[in-house]
């Protein structure tokens, strides 16, 4: 604590040199949301000032001599709903780009009242959705700019383990989430990706690239397929089209930099970033309480170019490399079940073409390549037995096309296709082992190539009926060549505005997802399995408490069918094996696709945007997540928190100081105690089959604090922040494991008190 106080005094001292009034520039464009056509003469006002501008014939505006600090900007145009963007940080001698897309509205003569502007929902995505801006992601305490950790603070996401970014959404699993960046699918957005899932311990995406992110916790429309639970849609920002800028970063995940600049006199732009972890440097010099030294780095880029006024192409590249090689002594010192070597290389490169069809609509067409190469070998710490060797190369190329056409002011259609070709190779070995319930399982060798195709087509119709009623319905068809199965997924959404503050939302739909490839390649019998299926039912109400504050309540029911079950493990739910077997799923023969699960709950969220000096978001959920085992008994799933409550808020003091906090409480998740006698005899954890998921871990709660200090110099800017995770050092338990040296059950502790320091310097 003394060190933190000294740091704050130091920040106060050096801030004296940055007291002189500084200014920056805001520029950008204003577009029609449904056609991407620029709006000429739109008004752009910096709220609380008399500073503003109007867009030119290209829909572009420019506001100069804007005081540094946080601002809110209001975009308005006749016949359109206004949009207010908060947390726009103007920096000294920098050009900030802010683009707004406006939704057309009924004329005032039709007596439809448009309220707010801080919350920009559309008729297509009006339920189970929440949007975060770049600044909301960057400043969130307890996230370190990791986009997945922002989502983990929502009431729709289970709280399971601080050390994993796996999203468990409304009773789902980490295999059930989709991630898109600029219309391009990214299978996993984490370093050290857990094989076969979407989870990992550390975020891969650079927060400085993120313009905004929208999270759909359910009920997402037909343009997204092959996922049962959620979609995270991320938009990368463009680089500066007028000048060259650079930024240096130092934070808990590593050090690196960002550079950006114009292309061809402003017809395009580019932005690049490079980062590397530095834990290996720190551990050599200071005692961090662990000797595990993972090394990782990443490179990201986005390049855009305007072919003409109606056509634009963009390229994104996201690449990561991860390395970890704990030896046996390191594993013993850190209570690790395995030791060995891990090298992972992952990346996605994709090209997107935006074509605007006059005022009638637009199309987005993306072509991408994604690859993930795993070279891993692990030995059991207690016996030195070769546990698994994973030499795999997962690759796919994908063509995605989305077309939006406006029939008239009230009606539009959307249609498109997803075509994916997978070409995977596996040279995997799994040693003999005792499974979770004590069954001996022979060694398994997988030497196989998987070449197959996935094809999806979709169509959606959206219309406004009466004055305040909007409906969208559509269907999606997906074909998987590997098992030669075709699935049809109809979906429907309805939104009705009771008045200018209250809206009712309903949604229902069918969702399918293919089984993970690592499970499919283990034997030919998997071709006969049906694809897992989920029914989503959601009903919600939104109420605008104030222009900048909204409360949302939603009830949901999600029913699963066709889930894989192993008849030899009659009490377990196979897909949850990714959780209790450290992301590994193997050794299953003669699987059945008769598994059933269900999840239902209620979620309440209150969100206040930072229109003045403070912001906040609070959420509460009560849910029940269960599966039916092979005996017909309903059991709790391993991610079932039951109760989740979180509150986050922040206060801005002037233009340069900001204080924020987040507190999360979650009910303990179910777990199965070990059968002590069998575990002692075999010297490995064997679950007690009489008490599968009948016990619960202690409740989870944690307080995260953060202080940001900005410095605006004449030609540069600097942000320093200090964050404290788990400020009162709560001893949260993630799970239990069998310690083979001490021959007893021990807890897996989550993160304790963890101070974080970060620095961003822009020039």
Residues 175 and 87 in one domain: no
pLDDT tens profile 498-547: 998 999 999 999 999 999 999 999 888 899 999 999 999 999 999 999 99
Beta strand 177-181 with 230-236: parallel, antiparallel or unpaired? parallel
Q: Is residue 422 part of a domain?
A: yes
pLDDT tens profile 620-638: 999 999 999 988 999 999 9
Pick the closest to residue 200 from 252, 255, 149, 250 (CA basis).
149
Rounded to 5°, the CA angle 737-739-744 comes to 90
Report whether 133 contacts 212 (CB < 8 A): yes
Beta strand 411-430 with 433-434: parallel, antiparallel or unpaired? unpaired
Beta strand 210-216 with 230-236: parallel, antiparallel or unpaired? antiparallel
Pick the closest to residue 611 from 98, 72, 120 (CA basis).
72
Q: Give, for 754, the enclosing helix (H) or strand (E).
A: strand 754-762
Q: Report which DSSP code applies to 350.
A: E
Residues 66 and 189 in one domain: no
Domain end position, chosen among 90, 105, 120: 105
The CA distance from 89 to 92, in Å, is 10
The 10 Å CB-count burial string (b at 16+, else e) for 190-204 is bbbbbbbbbbbbbbb
**186 by DSSP, 3-state: which?**
coil
For the chain, the straight-line distance linking the first and the last C-alpha, in angstroms and rounded, comes to 32
Residues of the domain holding 98: 2-105
Cα→Cα distances 16→67, 76, 436, 711, Å:
17, 38, 62, 9
In this prediction, residue 105 has a pLDDT band, given cuts at 50, 70 and 90, of confident
Residues 48 and 179 in one domain: no
Could you give phi then psi for residue 524, rounded to 5 degrees?
Answer: -65, -20
Higher pLDDT, 100 or 105: 100
**682 by DSSP, 3-state: which?**
helix
Signed CA dihedral, 496, 502, 508, 513: sign only = positive
Region of 607 (left: φ > 0; alpha: ψ -120 to 50; beta: rest) is: beta
CATH number of the domain enclosing 683? 2.40.170.20
Q: Is residue 117 part of a domain?
A: no
Q: Is residue 364 part of a domain?
A: yes
pLDDT tens profile 573-617: 999 887 666 667 877 888 999 999 999 999 999 999 988 889 999
Q: Indicate whether 127 pLDDT > 90.
A: no
Q: Is residue 556 part of a domain?
A: yes
SS (H, E, C) 46-84: ECCCCCEEECCCCCEEEEEEEECEEEEEEEECCCECCEE
Pick the closest to residue 322 from 342, 301, 336, 340 (CA basis).
342
Residues 91 and 187 in one domain: no
Q: Give, for 280, the enclosing helix (H) or strand (E).
A: helix 279-285
User: Token digits for 139?
Assistant: 């400043």
Residues 528 and 427 in one domain: yes
Domains identified in the chain, total number: 2
pLDDT tens profile 698-739: 999 999 999 999 999 999 999 999 999 999 999 999 999 999
The distance of Cα 516 from the centroid of its chain, to the nearest Å, equals: 19
Pick the closest to residue 573 from 614, 610, 532 (CA basis).
532
CATH number of the domain enclosing 51? 2.60.40.1120
In this prediction, residue 111 has a pLDDT band, given cuts at 50, 70 and 90, of very low
Q: Is residue 189 part of a domain?
A: yes
Cα→Cα distances 526→140, 194, 221, 442, Å:
43, 22, 29, 19
Q: Is residue 110 part of a domain?
A: no
CB atoms within 10 A of CB 98: 21
pLDDT (mean) for 343-349: 97
pLDDT tens profile 643-685: 999 999 999 998 899 999 999 999 999 999 999 999 999 998 9
The CA distance from 303 to 260, in Å, is 10
Residues 159 and 67 in one domain: no
Residues 36 and 139 in one domain: no
Residues 21 and 146 in one domain: no
Pick the closest to residue 486 from 450, 452, 514, 525 (CA basis).
514
Q: Indicate whether 144 pLDDT > 90.
A: no
CB atoms within 10 A of CB 357: 16
pLDDT tens profile 36-78: 999 999 999 999 899 999 999 999 999 999 999 999 999 999 9
Pick the closest to residue 327 from 338, 311, 316, 312 (CA basis).
338
Residues 402 and 471 in one domain: yes
**20 by DSSP, 3-state: which?**
coil
Q: Is residue 120 part of a domain?
A: no
Name residue, tokens 């605007």.
356
Residues 11 and 152 in one domain: no
**712 by DSSP, 3-state: which?**
strand
Residues 44 and 158 in one domain: no
Higher pLDDT, 481 or 465: 481
Pick the closest to residue 191 from 331, 283, 299, 280 (CA basis).
299
The 10 Å CB-count burial string (b at 16+, else e) for 113-128 is eebbbbbbbbbbbbbb
Q: Indicate whether 437 pLDDT > 80.
A: yes
Q: Is residue 214 part of a domain?
A: yes
């Amino acid at each position: 604590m003394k060190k933190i106080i000294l740091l704050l005094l130091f920040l106060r001292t050096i801030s004296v040199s940055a007291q002189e009034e500084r200014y920056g520039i805001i520029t950008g464009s204003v577009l029609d949301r449904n056609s991407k056509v620029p709006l000429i003469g739109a008004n752009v006002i910096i709220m609380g000032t008399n500073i503003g501008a109007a867009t030119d014939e290209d829909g572009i505006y420019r506001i100069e001599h804007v005081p540094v600090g946080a601002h809110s900007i209001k975009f308005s145009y006749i016949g359109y709903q206004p949009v207010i963007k908060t947390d726009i940080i103007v920096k000294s001698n920098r050009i900030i780009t802010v683009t707004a897309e406006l939704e057309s509205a009924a004329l005032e003569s039709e007596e439809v009242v448009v309220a707010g502007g801080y919350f920009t929902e559309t008729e297509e995505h009006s339920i189970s959705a929440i949007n975060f801006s770049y600044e909301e992601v960057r400043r969130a305490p307890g996230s370190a700019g990791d986009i997945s950790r922002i989502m983990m603070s929502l009431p729709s996401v289970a709280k399971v383990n601080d050390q994993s970014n796996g999203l468990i959404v409304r009773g789902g699993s980490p295999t059930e989430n989709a991630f898109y960046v600029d219309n391009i699918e990214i299978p996993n957005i984490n370093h050290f990706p857990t094989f076969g899932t979407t989870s990992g311990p550390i975020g891969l995406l650079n927060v400085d690239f993120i313009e905004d992110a929208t999270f759909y916790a359910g009920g997402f429309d037909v343009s997204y397929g092959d996922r049962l639970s959620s979609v995270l849609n991320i938009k990368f920002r463009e680089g500066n089209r007028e000048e060259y800028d650079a930024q240096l970063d130092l934070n808990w995940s590593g050090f690196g930099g960002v550079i950006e600049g114009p292309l061809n006199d402003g017809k395009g732009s580019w932005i690049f970033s490079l980062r590397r972890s530095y834990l290996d440097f720190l551990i050599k010099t200071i005692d961090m309480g662990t000797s595990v030294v993972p090394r990782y780095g990443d490179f990201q880029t986005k390049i855009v170019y305007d072919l003409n006024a109606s056509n634009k192409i963009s390229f994104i590249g996201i690449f990561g490399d991860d390395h970890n090689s704990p030896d046996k002594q390191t594993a013993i010192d850190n209570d690790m079940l395995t030791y060995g070597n891990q090298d992972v290389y992952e990346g996605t490169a994709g090209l997107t073409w935006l074509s605007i069809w006059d005022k009638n609509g637009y199309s987005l067409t993306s072509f991408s390549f994604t690859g993930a190469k795993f070279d891993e070998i692990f030995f059991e710490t207690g016996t030195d037995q070769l546990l698994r060797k994973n030499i795999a190369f997962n690759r796919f190329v994908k063509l995605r096309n989305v077309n939006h056409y406006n029939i008239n002011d009230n009606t539009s259609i959307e249609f498109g296709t997803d075509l994916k070709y997978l070409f995977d190779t596996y040279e995997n070995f799994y040693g003999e082992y005792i499974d979770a319930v004590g069954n001996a399982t022979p060694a398994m060798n997988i030497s196989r190539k998987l070449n197959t195709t996935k094809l999806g087509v979709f169509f959606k119709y959206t219309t406004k009926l009466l004055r305040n009623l909007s409906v969208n319905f559509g269907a999606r068809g997906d074909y998987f060549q590997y098992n030669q199965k075709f699935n049809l997924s109809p979906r429907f959404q309805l939104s009705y505005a009771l008045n200018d503050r209250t809206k009712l939302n309903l949604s229902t739909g069918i969702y399918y997802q293919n089984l993970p490839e690592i499970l499919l390649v283990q034997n030919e019998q998997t071709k006969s399995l049906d694809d897992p299926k989920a029914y989503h039912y959601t009903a919600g109400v939104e109420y605008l408490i104030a222009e900048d504050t909204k409360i949302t309540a939603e009830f949901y029911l999600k029913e699963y069918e066709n889930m894989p079950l192993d008849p030899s493990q009659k009490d377990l739910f196979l897909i949850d094996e990714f959780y209790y077997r450290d992301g590994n799923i193997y050794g299953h023969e003669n699987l059945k696709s008769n598994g059933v699960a269900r999840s239902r709950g209620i979620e309440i969220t209150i969100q206040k945007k930072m229109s003045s000096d403070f912001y906040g978001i609070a959420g509460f959920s009560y849910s029940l997540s269960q599966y039916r085992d092979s005996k017909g008994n309903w059991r709790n799933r391993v991610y079932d928190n039951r109760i989740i409550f979180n509150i986050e808020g922040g206060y801005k003091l002037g233009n340069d100081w900001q204080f924020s906090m987040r507190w999360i409480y979650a009910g303990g998740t179910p777990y199965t105690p070990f059968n002590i006698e069998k575990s002692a005899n075999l010297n490995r954890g064997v679950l007690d089959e009489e008490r599968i998921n009948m016990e619960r871990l202690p409740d989870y709660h944690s307080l995260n604090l953060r202080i940001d200090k900005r410095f605006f110099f004449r030609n540069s800017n600097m942000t320093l922040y200090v964050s404290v995770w788990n400020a009162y050092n709560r001893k949260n338990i993630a799970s239990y494991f069998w310690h083979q040296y001490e021959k007893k059950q021990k807890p897996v502790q989550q993160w304790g008190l963890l101070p974080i320091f970060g620095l961003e310097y822009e020039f």
